[in-house]
């Protein structure tokens, strides 16, 4: 005979409760110029890991006992995407402690997860503020949450809202998500929104390297180094659906090979030098572009790990082969 699920008490580590507000903080659905500037800085990797809100319960508008309860990450871009798409609505917002990581990545890492959701419900006393027992979670957070366990721990049932926060008002009106709301899009603007942080992350290493090579007189190599950054950091997200192959490493290598070929037109070099540089800088572009696999919705966490495991040795081999050809050319 099946046993009835019972609410299990969550035992909290000492000191965790002190980090949460004693009462719900009030937020609005407005996006201020300061919010826009901070979001722009975060997308360019400026103080990105500090761009977060305090975990806890927030009151949007004037929520009451029957107002909807949403859960999101404490990454500020995720939090702001939710609140700014709830204009004219009153709601409760639970910001889980995802360590400043967005919902989708945090779900894969486990910080947007069952126990964290149960913990924050218990700490904020949500059950005393609402008469219903329903939570609306983002669809991309589903991999980290076990709905039946949340129900057993807290008494709250879980419903998954639409992929995009902009569809939430219509979702609330219909009381369900349409197939279109469930569809994950990763179009050109979505992809290019992620490109700046990739460029900044790798640019801090490759641009100084390119500058040094230029000053030392290796102008072709300086151009190839900058080209590898552009190919992997900008061309890959821009042309992702049209680049050949399924693997991000292969797609990125194709982008790198294209840029390498274009740069080769402007520099005189022997066939051996061209071959060596094609190996070195195509591998570099592939390495940069491969990092984009963790930012896309195309690949699961296990898929990312598998691709990294296969691609990294190939990158190292191509790089070493290119250096060997260049070194041999000096003595032959």
Q: What is the pLDDT of residues 63-84, one digit of tens each?
A: 999 999 999 999 999 999 999 9
Q: What is the pLDDT of residues 87-125, one digit of tens each?
A: 999 999 999 999 998 898 888 888 899 999 999 999 999
Q: What is the pLDDT of residues 263-315, one digit of tens each?
A: 999 998 999 999 999 999 999 999 999 988 766 666 666 677 788 888 899 99
Question: CA–CA separation, 246 vs 250, rounded Å?
Answer: 7
pLDDT at res. 306 = 80
Answer yes or no: CATH 3.40.50.11600 is held by domain 17-182: yes
Instruction: Provide the residue ranges of all domains of the chain, joining segments of one domain with +.
Output: 17-182, 188-329
Residue 186 has pLDDT above 90, yes or no: no
- Environment class of residue 253 by beta-carbon count within 10 Å: exposed (0-12), middle (13-18) or buried (19+)? buried
Cβ count near 1 (within 10 Å): 3
Mean pLDDT of the 176-203 span: 90
Q: Specify the pTM.
A: 0.81
- pLDDT-based confidence at 21, cuts 50/70/90? very low
**Sign of the four-CA dihedral 210, 213, 215, 217:** negative
Cβ pair 199, 295 in contact under 8 A: no
Tokens of 56: 């806890």
């Amino acid at each position: 005979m099946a046993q009835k699920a019972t609410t299990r008490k969550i035992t909290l580590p000492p000191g965790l409760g002190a980090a949460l507000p004693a009462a719900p903080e009030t937020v609005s659905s407005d996006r201020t110029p300061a919010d826009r500037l901070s979001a722009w800085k975060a997308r360019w990797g400026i103080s990105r890991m500090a761009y977060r809100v305090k975990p806890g319960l927030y009151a949007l508008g004037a929520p009451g006992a029957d107002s909807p309860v949403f859960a999101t990450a404490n990454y500020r871009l995720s939090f702001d995407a939710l609140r700014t798409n709830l204009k004219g609505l009153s709601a409760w917002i639970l910001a889980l402690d995802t360590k400043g990581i967005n919902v989708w990545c945090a779900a894969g890492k486990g910080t947007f997860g069952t126990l964290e959701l149960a913990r924050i419900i218990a700490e904020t006393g949500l059950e005393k503020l609402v008469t219903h027992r329903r939570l609306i979670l983002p669809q991309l957070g589903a991999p980290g949450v076990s709905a039946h366990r949340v129900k057993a721990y807290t008494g709250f049932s879980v419903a998954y809202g639409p992929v995009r926060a902009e569809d939430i008002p219509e979702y609330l009106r219909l009381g369900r998500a349409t197939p279109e709301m469930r569809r994950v899009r990763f179009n050109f603007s979505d992809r290019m929104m992620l490109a700046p942080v990739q460029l900044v992350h790798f640019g801090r290493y490759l641009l100084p390297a390119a500058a040094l090579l230029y000053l030392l007189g290796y102008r072709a190599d300086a151009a190839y180094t900058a080209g590898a950054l552009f190919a992997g950091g900008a061309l890959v997200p821009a042309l992702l659906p049209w680049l050949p192959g399924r693997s991000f490493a292969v797609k990125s290598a194709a982008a790198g090979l294209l840029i390498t070929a274009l740069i080769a037109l402007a520099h005189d070099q022997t066939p051996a030098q061209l071959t060596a540089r094609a190996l070195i800088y195509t591998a570099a572009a592939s390495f940069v572009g491969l990092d984009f696999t963790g930012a896309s919705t195309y690949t699961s966490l296990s898929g990312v790990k598998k691709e990294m495991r296969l691609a990294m040795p190939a990158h190292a081999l191509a790089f070493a082969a290119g250096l060997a050809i260049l070194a041999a050319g000096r003595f032959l």
